[in-house]
Amino acid sequence: MSLALAPLDVSVEIEANLPCRKFDPDLWFSDSPAQLELAKSLCGDCPLRVECLAGAVERNEPWGVWGGEIFERGAVVPRKRPRGRPRKADVARDAELAHEVEERLAANGLDSRNSVRLAA
């Protein structure tokens, strides 16, 4: 009598090492700006980051962190603002961050004007 061994499924091994599989999934869909920044940072070393971002853009994801970017109401935002009126310094910082997001999207082969809407 012989035992048959199941073939090694490489995709299962890769998925086990993805940050979104190792940590609490709610972190990627949090309302807290600090938690979303943490999720973005965890995506930085993910081997599927570019594919994840491209898929989220293609699906028009309504919200969450996908491919190291924050989506809110179907748009990529540089950071999630806390509740309340933004301070003037935050508005200026948001403009800088929006430019950085456009550069990252372009570096990943995604045209921000045609593929995804950037929130102001």
Residue 105: burial class (beta carbons within 10 Å; 0-12, 13-18, 19+):
buried
61 marked as binding residue: no
User: Is 106 annotated as ligand-binding?
Assistant: no
* 113 has binding-site annotation: no
Q: Per the annotation, does 52 bind a ligand? A: yes
Contacts of residue 115, Cβ cutoff 8 Å, sequence gap at least 6: 57, 105
Three-class secondary structure of residue 45 per DSSP: coil
Which positions make up the binding site for [4Fe-4S] cluster? Answer: 20, 43, 46, 52
Which positions make up the binding site? Answer: 20, 43, 46, 52
